[in-house]
Chains A and B, each alone.
Chain A
Amino acid sequence: MKFVVAIASIALAAGLVGCNSTAAPEAKETAAPTPGGKLTGALEVQAFQGGYGIDFYQASAKEFEKQHPDLKITVEGGPRVWESLTPRFANGNPPDLTFPGWGMKHWDLAEEDQLVDLGPALDGKAAEGDGTWRESFDPQILALGQLKGVQYTLPYYVMIYGWWYDPEVFKKNGWTVPKTYSELLTLSDKIKKKGMAPITFQGKYPYYMIDGMLLPWVQSIGGIDAVNAAQNLEEGAWNSPAMVQATERIVELKKKGFFQEGATSMSHTEAQQEFVQGKAAMVPCGSWLFSEMKKTMPATAKMEYFLPPFIDGGKGDPTAVLIGIEPWMVPTEAKNKEAAIELFKYMTSLSVAKKFVQEKGTLMAIKGSDDGELPDVLKAPSKTLRESKAVYSVQFRHWYPTLSTELENGLTSLLNGQLTAQQFCDRAEAAADKVRKDPNITKHKV
């Protein structure tokens, strides 16, 4: 039955596209219209309903409607909204503004000429203040939405990756947050002796470990260039000495028994639940951890962010932070592009962004949105980001999904003792080489 559903879904999408659509993409006007006119008509927004919900976007739309009474906005969404959006894009009937969520292959959309170039709109006036809209954003974060210099997507909230601990538990036991890998080893030994698991992780989804340990340690050892060389598919970057040495740290922690028993099988929520219940002392995760776990965490539990321990003597930047975004976009075939852009401009205005930070407990891509009193759980990520001399981001996962899958599969085998660090990296390099040599895969550069 599932098979029938699967082929039916392919065929349905195919059917929507029609049979005679083999031609090359039509030339389309992708530049955003210049705003300024009266906003009228219907405006449809489809948004991913993740940990932060869609209620804030709905409330923002209501406020925006008050300013533009001739505009009728609908904001809808779902936890897998990309699944309904994909055939709509294919059929040329996308919404006007969308935040399609992590499952949408938005670079495919960009490459297939399905997204508006938002560059001209960014050079226009911001919703608040005298500056341009572009100046509202942190330029490094803005760059994450560009392909060959074209701004196809825009960021909203920013995710900061790192590790988490319970300050009360650490204080009670006289433990201090490990800043370096050698401190981590010493601390983990103490935690283990107390009968607690030092580190848990979301083993069912190995990318958590890739983002929380492997790449930060590659950065520690070889600098951001080593990470980006791998993302840029430079020859030998996936089995570079930095990559191998970073992988060896994971093997070492495993061999020393510092990972929680059974963590390789745990989903993200299972492992994180172990952490909030005090069965494990530390967990690598992004800044969404609190919002994801607040409903199930004991009232006494606390959580605080810290940067992944830095590898001693590495040539990387100890302040560098791994960040990520989940982008918003305006489809080329949207019927009300101008209103879509103006609504998103309003949503990214400083006052609205500050409200989002307070209500949802996350950092934003908008400059100054973390000024003032922040929720406790955001204080450390905000401070870390402000003090960081450099940021970097995992982009290869969306660019080259086959490489990402191979890396995740290899990591599971590494943790199961079936691969050595060198074999794991060689396998990653072979997967990268396959992508490198495939002329049908568009190559990206960080």
Chain B
Amino acid sequence: MRHSKGRGAFIVAFLSPAVLLYAVFLVWPLLQSFQMSMYRWRGVSRNRKFIGMENFQNLSQDPVFWKSLQNTGMLLVLAGVVTIGLGVLLAHLTDGAGPVRKFARAIYLFPQVISLVAVALIWQFQLNPKYGLVTDMLFRVGLPVRDPGIVRDPRYAFGAIAVAFVWHALGFFVLLFSAGLKQISEEIKEASALDGSEGWHRFRHVTWPLLWSVKRTAITYLLIHILTVFALVFVMTEGGPDRGTETIVSYLYEQIAKNGQYGYASALAVVVFAVSMLASLAVLAYFRKDPTAAAGARA
């Protein structure tokens, strides 16, 4: 009994700092955001007015909100598919030992360790209409990218954000899928080889299903990462041209920084939270059953 009590105190002692920090810096602000979303508040004084669900009603009629939601969804599909597709491909190509593969894995991870603001600045330079390397290369292959310039051109700006995102995020997904590939036991690989399953056939019927838990983690991570993408958009395009790259969080920032609408911004934050939660739950529900469980495989 005494032993169990001591163990409990030990656990509480070690957990409490983390729980306290989490509660103060995450749970409490989140609850405050929920509260603030029902107020009209300019954020410069104590004066604020309870307006119930008015911010949410206004949000539902705000075309920029819907446009930003649509853009965020498009980024999720476009950058998400490319990131996961390339992540799996590169994980395959760099799977195994050898110095070249090790070096390649480190290179892929490099953009991931740079802050997102720095990534945005790097791409801003690369896409500069006068001296940007990428602009110059695209111009040389015949694309009219010098005027108005990639980040202000409605044909290219969204793609530029997606490319910068993929460049930044890819390394992490290569690492994730590499770890997933390593977890597939040699016995399974040998057994599938004996059964004549090689190449694409083996990937589709053996490897891909066995990456089940990695896919779940990857998609959940991507969802949260893209739904809250801000720095790339803010630095590279400021949501432009003409809202062409506006995302839900960049619009939220505009409500605070430009418009001083803290209540409306909080309503947006609540929507982002709700969408993130629902989407994450949907992913978890979709992947709830381990398709390989019956076969007894590890993934």
What A residues does B229 contact at CB under 8 A?
Answer: 2
| A86-B44, A262-B129 given; A410·B242 CB < 8 A | yes
What A residues does B242 contact at CB under 8 A?
Answer: 409-410, 412-413, 416, 418
What A residues does B129 contact at CB under 8 A?
Answer: 261-262, 265-266
A415–B242 CA distance with the chains assembled, in angstroms: 11
Q: Which of B26, B32, B231: most chain A Cβ within 10 A?
A: B32
Size band of the interface chain A makes with B: 35 or more
A270–B128 CA distance with the chains assembled, in angstroms: 9
| A4-B26, A8-B29 given; A402·B231 CB < 8 A | no
| A262-B147, A402-B259 given; A92·B269 CB < 8 A | no
A15–B27 CA distance with the chains assembled, in angstroms: 13
CB contacts between A and B, total, < 8 Å = 169
CB of B25 within 8 Å of the partner chain: yes
What A residues does B29 contact at CB under 8 A?
Answer: 4, 7-8, 10-12, 15
CB of A42 within 8 Å of the partner chain: no
The secondary-structure label for the interface of chain B is mixed
Number of interface residues of B (CB under 8 A): 61
What A residues does B253 contact at CB under 8 A?
Answer: 6
CB of B174 within 8 Å of the partner chain: no
| A2-B231, A262-B129 given; A11·B36 CB < 8 A | yes
CB of B228 within 8 Å of the partner chain: yes
What A residues does B289 contact at CB under 8 A?
Answer: none
B-facing residues in A260-312 (Cβ within 8 Å): 261-266, 270, 274
Q: B251 CB to closest chain A CB, in angstroms?
A: 11
A155–B152 CA distance with the chains assembled, in angstroms: 35
What A residues does B148 contact at CB under 8 A?
Answer: 203, 262-265, 415-416
CB of A147 within 8 Å of the partner chain: no
Binds B, one of A101-109, A117-125, A315-323, A373-381: A101-109
Q: Which of B28, B33, B40, B241: most chain A Cβ within 10 A?
A: B241
Q: Which of A11, A86, A265: most chain B Cβ within 10 A?
A: A265
A267–B146 CA distance with the chains assembled, in angstroms: 15
CB of B102 within 8 Å of the partner chain: no
Q: List 12 A-B contacts (CB under 8 A).
A: A2-B249, A3-B249, A6-B253, A7-B30, A14-B32, A14-B262, A22-B49, A90-B45, A92-B46, A112-B45, A203-B148, A265-B148
Interface residues of B (CB under 8 A from A): 25-26, 28-33, 35-36, 39-50, 116, 127-130, 146-154, 227-231, 238, 240-243, 249, 252-254, 256-260, 262, 265-266, 269, 272-273
